């Protein structure tokens, strides 16, 4: 049986596991707009006074929202005239550093365009407009600052090297710009100054300054989905998941699912683009706990946000080492870069249904479950022995929720070169399939040729070729002597 097909779209049948494409969130545009307006009223105030003078620029980056956006807020109160700007940097559409994959795949590019359109709409409701420019920020921002005489440029602070290089370039170029000072506007004698570049921290639930320790002290060791971009859609997803469907209370029990839109929150694409603030999600969880119930599931959503914060702070501590082959711990390993082997993984043609189904979902939707990401990572680096950076860069190409800190943090963790005390963490494919897809519904959805096989055989067709590592694991699972030489990952 050939499990590698060129057709990646799920085939629609009468089976419940073959429903048509599902939008996330599910609400129509009118309902999403109503949710946005209600949320905006809940978390905003009409009492803020605007006391600034002159012109300020807010340079939008990965913070494509109006709610809980400190850069936007500071720019607004410090000016009489505000210019919101987004730069479509051509480097975002270049290729990855080591293996030349596209840095931004088509699905994430479409999601980004939807986020920008929504941001522009929400700014226009409040008397502002988003200027979208094609080019490098270090060319565009200083030019606009000069043209409009802006006294300050406000932007969200990033932590990874490529983004930091852009920040330094913008800062350097702004030093070549001279504008009239605020105090001299309209005065007989004019003094000049350079525009300020002011960064704010806004990517994490907890501010870096709120940590009770320095970042350097971090420990060392369809069922297919179409995500709708933009803050309006992101807020609607919170409303839908928390309040309309009341799924927050069972999150911990369902979070390891793989099929369908509602086994997990699916907030990550909006968090990665900055269309949702982690602090806003925190507030909504606390509101849910007050109005409905607090349990292990509500705690676990907050825990996942803290885990996201952790990878962001880790990137501050370790810098570029999260992109290096040895990772933050500089582990030496003889990785393979076998192109054909990697392509079989990338294209979902390994012959292992659970791996292939996850990779088909990734290329088709731009999303993969957390459980799936751990499984395919383990398979690539443990069973295939492939350089983990190849997997990380392919995820960078495809994922709607790509964020360098989380992506490379998770890949270094999963490959044993990051902050995981267990260097040899391994996910047994047979056990994962038995636990999380026992009837083969997930694999049959993404690999339609398996639907003719009985449910208990879908993950284990007779033609499958097992690696020596898998055989070893299966022997360990079946061993009744209790002589396992290490614990298997569940």
Binding residues for FAD: 251, 264-268, 304-311, 401-403
Which residue do the tokens 């079946």 mark? 478
Tally Cβ neighbours within 10 Å of residue 485: 5
Give strand ranges (E) for 201-272. 225-227
Binding residues: 251, 264-268, 304-311, 401-403
Q: 189: helix, coil or strand?
A: coil
Distance between CA atoms of 228 and 117, rounded to whole angstroms? 11
* Closest by Cα among 61, 66, 259, 287 to 160: 61
- The DSSP 8-state label assigned to residue 121 in this structure reads H
At 22, phi and psi to the nearest 5?
A: -110, 135
* Closest by Cα among 191, 171, 169 to 182: 191
Distance between CA atoms of 331 and 145, rounded to whole angstroms? 46
**Cα-Cα-Cα-Cα dihedral sign, residues 250, 253, 256, 258:** negative
Structural tokens at position 49: 């006074």
The answer to whether the beta carbons of residues 248 and 241 sit under 8 Å apart is yes
The answer to whether the beta carbons of residues 235 and 415 sit under 8 Å apart is no
The answer to whether the beta carbons of residues 222 and 22 sit under 8 Å apart is yes
Distance between CA atoms of 267 and 283, rounded to whole angstroms? 14
């Amino acid at each position: 049986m050939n499990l590698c097909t060129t057709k990646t779209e799920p085939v629609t049948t009468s089976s419940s596991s073959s429903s048509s494409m599902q939008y996330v969130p599910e609400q129509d545009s009118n309902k999403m707009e109503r949710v946005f307006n209600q949320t905006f009223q809940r978390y905003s105030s009409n009492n803020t006074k605007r006391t600034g003078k002159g012109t300020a620029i807010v340079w939008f980056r990965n913070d494509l929202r109006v709610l809980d956006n400190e850069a936007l807020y500071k720019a607004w109160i410090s000016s009489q005239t505000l210019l919101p700007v987004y730069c479509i940097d051509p480097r975002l559409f270049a290729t990855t550093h080591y293996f030349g994959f596209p840095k931004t795949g088509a699905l994430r590019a479409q999601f980004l365009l939807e986020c920008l359109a929504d941001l522009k709409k929400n700014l226009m409701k409040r008397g502002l407009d988003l200027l979208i420019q094609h080019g490098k920020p270090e060319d565009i921002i200083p030019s606009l600052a000069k043209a409009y005489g802006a006294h300050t440029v406000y932007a969200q602070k990033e932590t990874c090297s490529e983004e930091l290089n852009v920040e330094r370039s913008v800062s350097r170029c702004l030093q070549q710009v001279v504008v009239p000072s605020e105090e001299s506007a309209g005065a007989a004698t004019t003094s000049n100054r350079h525009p300020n570049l002011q960064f704010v921290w806004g990517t994490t639930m907890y501010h870096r300054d709120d940590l009770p320790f320095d970042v350097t002290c971090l420990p060392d060791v369809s069922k297919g989905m179409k995500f709708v971009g933009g803050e309006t859609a992101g807020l609607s997803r919170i409303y839908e998941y928390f309040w309309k469907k009341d799924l927050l209370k069972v999150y911990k029990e369902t979070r390891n699912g793989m099929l369908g839109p509602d086994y997990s929150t699916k907030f990550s694409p909006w968090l990665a683009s900055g269309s949702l603030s982690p602090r806003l999600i925190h507030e909504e969880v606390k509101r849910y706990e007050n109005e409905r119930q607090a349990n292990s599931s509500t705690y676990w959503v907050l825990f996942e946000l803290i885990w996201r914060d952790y990878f962001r702070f880790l990137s501050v501590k370790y810098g570029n080492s999260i992109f290096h082959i040895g990772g933050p711990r500089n582990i030496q390993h003889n990785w393979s870069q076998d192109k054909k082997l990697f392509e079989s993984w990338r294209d979902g043609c390994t012959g292992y249904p659970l791996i292939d189904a996850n990779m088909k979902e990734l290329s088709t939707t731009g999303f993969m479950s957390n459980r799936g990401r751990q499984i395919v990572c383990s398979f690539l680096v443990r069973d295939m022995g492939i350089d983990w950076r190849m997997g990380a860069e392919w995820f960078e190409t495809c994922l709607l929720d790509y964020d360098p800190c989380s992506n490379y943090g998770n890949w270094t963790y999963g490959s044993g070169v990051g902050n995981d005390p267990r260097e040899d963490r391994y996910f047994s494919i047979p056990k994962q399939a038995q636990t999380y897809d026992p009837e083969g519904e997930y694999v049959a959805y993404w690999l339609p040729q398996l639907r003719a096989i009985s449910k208990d055989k879908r993950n284990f067709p007779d033609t499958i070729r097992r690696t020596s590592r898998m055989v070893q694991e299966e022997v360990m699972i079946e061993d009744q002597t209790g002589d396992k030489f290490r614990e298997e990952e569940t």
